[in-house]
C-alpha cells in the first residue's frame, strides 16, 4: 500500500519523539495515556487516519510490555487479573468496533466523530470527576502521605458477595471477587478502547473503585491489558497493511525512556498521586473534546458555525490535549522530585 507511507521530515520525527516521551512517562505512571495526542498529531502531519491509529497501536503494545515488566519487578502487576480483564476487553473492543461501523454507515464521518467526542466528554467527566473527588477527599483528610488506600464501599460490597463457582482470587491485588463483576468491567474497558483509544480511563478506576485493587496495582495491571489489546489490534491492522513501522518505532524510541521513568516514579510517590494525575488528564481531555462537539454538529447540519470558528475550536481542542499530557507529566515529575528528596532526607 504505497499511499500509507508519507515522506517524514526531521520536524515530524522531533514531534513524535517529544510526544512519545511524555506519553510514555504518563503511561508508565497511570497505565495509559498519549494516544489521544499521538493519533491526531500524526494525522496533522498528513498520515491517513487509519495508519495513524494502526501505527499508534503498534508502538503501544511493546511499550506496555516493557512497562508491565518493569512494574512487575516492583511487585505491582497482577498478571492473572490483567489477562482475565484482557479476555473480556477483547469482546468489548469487538462489539465497540461494530457500533462504530454502524454509526459511520448511518451518519458518516462527522456522525462518527461526534459519537467519539461525546463518549470522551460523558465518560471522562463522570469517571474523572469521581477520581478527582476521591483525590480531594484524601487531600482534605490529611492522609496524602499515607501509603495505604481506603477500599471503596462499592468494592467492599462486591468483595462480600459470594457467587459459588465464579469466585476468583488475585494474589497481587489481594482481591477475591466474582468473575461476574470482572466481565462487565473488562467489557467496558474494551468498549472504551475501541471508541476513544484509551481503555485505561475506565479500566484503572474500575479496578480501583469496583474491584478494590490498590491504585498502584490497578495502573500497573492496565499495562498488561494494553499489551494484549495492542498486540491484537496491531495484528488486525497489519493484516490490512495499515501499520507504518517507521512512525511506530520512532514513537517507541522516546516512549520507552518515558515509560521506564514513569514506572520508577511510582516507587517514589504516594498512591494518591496516581489519582491526581489521572483525574487532571481526564478532565482536561474532556474539555478538549467538548470544544469540538459544535464543529461536528455543524457538519451534520444541526447548527450553524463559521468556518473560521470551527478551525479555531479544532486548534484549541488539540492544544488542550497537549496541555493535558503536559500537565500530567509536570505533576509526575514534580511528585517524583519531592518523593526523591523525602527519601534522601530519611536515608
Partner 1 sequence: MNGSAKPWSKFWLYGIASAICYGVLFMHLNDKDAIRPFTRTDGLYPLLPVAAAFVFSFFHGGFTGYFWDVVGIQAKSAKPVSKDETEGSED
Which residue is listed with cell 462537539? 293
Q: How far is the CB of 287 from partner 1 (least distance, A)?
A: 32
Residue 261 within binding range of partner 1, rule CB under 8 A: yes
Q: How far is the CB of 188 from partner 1 (least distance, A)?
A: 23
Long-range contacts of 128-132 (CB under 8 A, 24+ apart): 128/201, 128/278, 128/279, 128/281, 128/282, 128/283, 128/286, 129/279, 129/283, 130/205, 130/209, 131/205, 131/275, 131/278, 131/279, 131/282, 132/275, 132/279, 132/280, 132/283
Which residue is listed with cell 454509526? 103
Piece in contact with partner 1 (CB under 8 A), picked from 32-40, 145-153, 202-210, 314-322 = 145-153
Considering the complex, state which of residue 126 and residue 157 has its C-beta at the smaller distance from partner 1: 157
Piece in contact with partner 1 (CB under 8 A), picked from 63-71, 131-139, 290-298, 305-313 = 63-71
Element (H, E) at 124: helix 79-141
Which residue is listed with cell 466474582? 178
Contact 68, 224 (CB under 8 A): yes
Site for partner 1 in 5-24 (CB under 8 A): 5, 7-8, 13
At residue 270, the 3 state secondary structure works out as coil
Tell me the per-residue interface mask from 21 to 60 with partner 1, x by CB under 8 A, - otherwise: -------------------------------------xx-
Report the interface residues with partner 1, using CB under 8 A: 1-2, 4-5, 7-8, 13, 58-59, 61-63, 65-66, 69-70, 73-76, 146-151, 172-175, 213-214, 216-217, 231, 234-235, 238-246, 248-250, 252-253, 256-257, 260-261, 263-264, 267-268, 339-340, 343
Amino acid at each position: 500500500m504505497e499511499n500509507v507511507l508519507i515522506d517524514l521530515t526531521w520536524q515530524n520525527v522531533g514531534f513524535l519523539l517529544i510526544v512519545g516521551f511524555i506519553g510514555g512517562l504518563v503511561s508508565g505512571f497511570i497505565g495509559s495515556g498519549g494516544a489521544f495526542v499521538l493519533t491526531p498529531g500524526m494525522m496533522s502531519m498528513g498520515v491517513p487516519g487509519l495508519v495513524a491509529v494502526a501505527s499508534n497501536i503498534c508502538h503501544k503494545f511493546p511499550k506496555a510490555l516493557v512497562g508491565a515488566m518493569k512494574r512487575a519487578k516492583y511487585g505491582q502487576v497482577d498478571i492473572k487479573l490483567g489477562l482475565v480483564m484482557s479476555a473480556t476487553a477483547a469482546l468489548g473492543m469487538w462489539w465497540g468496533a461494530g457500533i462504530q461501523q454502524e454509526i459511520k454507515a448511518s451518519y458518516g464521518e462527522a456522525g462518527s466523530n461526534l459519537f467519539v467526542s461525546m463518549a470522551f466528554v460523558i465518560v471522562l467527566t463522570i469517571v474523572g470527576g469521581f477520581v478527582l473527588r476521591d483525590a480531594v477527599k484524601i487531600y482534605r483528610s490529611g492522609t496524602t502521605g499515607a501509603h495505604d488506600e481506603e477500599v471503596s464501599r462499592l468494592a467492599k460490597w462486591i468483595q462480600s458477595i459470594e457467587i459459588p463457582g465464579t469466585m476468583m482470587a488475585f494474589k497481587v491485588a489481594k482481591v477475591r471477587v466474582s468473575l461476574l463483576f470482572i466481565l462487565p468491567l473488562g467489557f467496558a474497558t474494551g468498549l472504551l478502547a475501541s471508541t476513544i483509544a484509551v481503555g485505561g480511563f475506565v479500566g484503572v478506576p474500575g479496578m480501583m473503585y469496583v474491584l478494590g485493587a490498590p491504585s498502584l496495582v490497578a495502573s500497573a495491571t492496565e499495562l498488561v491489558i494494553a499489551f494484549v489489546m495492542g498486540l491484537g489490534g496491531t495484528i488486525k491492522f497489519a493484516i490490512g497493511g495499515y501499520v507504518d513501522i517507521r512512525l511506530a518505532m520512532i514513537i517507541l524510541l522516546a516512549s520507552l525512556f518515558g515509560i521506564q521513568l514513569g514506572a520508577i516514579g511510582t516507587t517514589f510517590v504516594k498512591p494518591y498521586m496516581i489519582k491526581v494525575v489521572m483525574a487532571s488528564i481526564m478532565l482536561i481531555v474532556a474539555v478538549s473534546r467538548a470544544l469540538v462537539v459544535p464543529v461536528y454538529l455543524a457538519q451534520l447540519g444541526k447548527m450553524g458555525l463559521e468556518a473560521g470558528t470551527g478551525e479555531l475550536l479544532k486548534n484549541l481542542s488539540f492544544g488542550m490535549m497537549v496541555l493535558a499530557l503536559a500537565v500530567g507529566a509536570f505533576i509526575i515529575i514534580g511528585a517524583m522530585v519531592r518523593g526523591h528528596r523525602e527519601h534522601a532526607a530519611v536515608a
